[in-house]
Amino acid sequence: MAPIKADTALKELLDGNQRYVAGKLVHPHQTSQRSQELIPHQHPFATVLGCADSRVPPEVIFDQGLGDLFVVRVAGNIIDEEAVLASLEYAVEHLKTPLLVVLGHKACGAVKATVEALAKNEAGEGQVGIIVKAIRPAVVEARDRPGDVLDYAVRANVRRTVSRLNQTGPVLSGMVRDQKLRIVGAYYDLQSGIVELLGGAS
């Protein structure tokens, strides 16, 4: 299978999202034959770091199918130094996905919990505190801006994650430097269904 370029991968995702928004889904690669073809190997064309929110399944909103996307989902689309980062490195280094999309979304519960925790000067209960700590810088940035603090914080959180991934390495940062990987931020609007690119791309 010939390698796909990052720009082509991104266009495929955005084209799929346009189909989703228009209600013209084609549901590619969702047959039993496709599942059999994937048994010996996989060649996803993009990696998506998305939120665990049940309303934002990447394969659905991008109209993709089996074997198309390598998806890592965690509340608030945050990264850690262990499982999440290792999963992303595996995708780009071993599966050769040329595109990594950090996908945030409107009304993110993890970001909302962080906004509320900081408003009360709290760290978050239990293990949720780990998520609050990771998202906190984005919320602090948003509090100094006019308008919807939650929405700005969601977008800031995505941009910060993209920036961090670009500098995390040697695997990711090295592949970005060698132009083997492109990392982009995106925002999904729950109401319209539209995925918007946020810039901060490598």
SS3 call for 98: coil
CA-CA-CA-CA torsion sign (124, 157, 76, 106): positive
Residue pair 99/6 in contact by the 8 Å Cβ criterion: yes
Which pairing describes strands 99-105 and 195-199: parallel, antiparallel, or unpaired?
unpaired
Strand partners, 100: 47, 183
Residues recorded for the chain = 202
Question: Nearest Cα to 181, choosing from 121, 76, 94?
Answer: 94
Residue pair 64/146 in contact by the 8 Å Cβ criterion: no
Each residue's pLDDT expressed in tens, for the chain with a length of 202 residues: 567 899 999 999 999 999 999 999 999 998 999 999 999 999 999 999 999 999 999 999 999 999 999 999 999 999 987 899 999 999 999 999 999 999 999 999 999 999 999 988 876 666 778 899 999 999 999 988 888 999 999 999 999 999 999 998 789 999 999 999 999 999 999 999 999 999 744 3
CB neighbourhood size of 9 (10 A): 22
Backbone angles phi, psi at 194, to 5 degrees: -85, 140
Domains and CATH numbers, the chain: 6-199 (3.40.1050.10)
State the Cα–Cα distance between residues 72 and 82, nearest whole angstrom. 13
> What phi-psi label fits residue 3: left (phi over 0), alpha (psi between -120 and 50 degrees) or beta?
beta
State the Cα–Cα distance between residues 156 and 174, nearest whole angstrom. 24
- Beta strands per DSSP E along 74-118: 99-105
State the Cα–Cα distance between residues 69 and 42, nearest whole angstrom. 10
State the Cα–Cα distance between residues 10 and 182, nearest whole angstrom. 10
